[in-house]
Homo-oligomer: A and B are copies of this chain.
Amino acid sequence: MKTSDSIFHQCLYFSSNALARKVEKLAIESWKPIGLSPSHAYLLTTILKQPGQHPGALSDELQLAPSTITRLIEKLEAKRLVVRMTSGKLTYVHPTQTAKNLQPQIDNCLNNFYKAYSSILGEIESQKLVQQMVAIADKLPI
């Protein structure tokens, strides 16, 4: 059954969630080669891009609750991909050398993901959708 055949096809709750779940499945496939879930992969990518960030900043960047960031970091730490350094009430999150060495494969997964959805949806059309979704998300509270 197509998403458009649902009785809720005009509902923002239904459509945004249905789309997100489908995109997530595609992302999961793309990130399998390095054994990370999409959210872990995106967090690690952020940490690699800007080493030493605070969990709070990562929470802003990824639009995830602070507690979620803590949980994600714990997993990455257990995999020896990041380390936390605490000073006072602040925590600094750094990538390990292992993570740095993984960079090419990470880039590759991200690229494959882009290619995967662009080839299905069309590059222009998916870009347009992303822009619209971000614009709408900006308008919504929190």
On A, residues with C-beta under 8 Å from B are 1-4, 6-27, 38, 42, 46, 49, 60-63, 113-114, 117, 120-121, 125-130, 132-142
Q: How far is the CB of A92 from chain B (nearest CB, A)?
A: 18
Known: A1-B61, A129-B12, A132-B132. A17 touches B24 (CB 8 A): yes
Copies of this chain in its oligomeric complex: 2
Q: How far is the CB of A106 from chain B (nearest CB, A)?
A: 13
A12 x B117 contact (CB < 8 A)? yes
Taking CB atoms, residues of chain B closer than 8 Å to A2 are: 138
A17 x B15 contact (CB < 8 A)? no
A113 to B17, CA, bound (A): 15
A91 to B120, CA, bound (A): 36
A3 x B126 contact (CB < 8 A)? no
6 closest residue pairs by CB, A with B: A20-B20, A3-B137, A1-B60, A22-B140, A16-B20, A15-B133
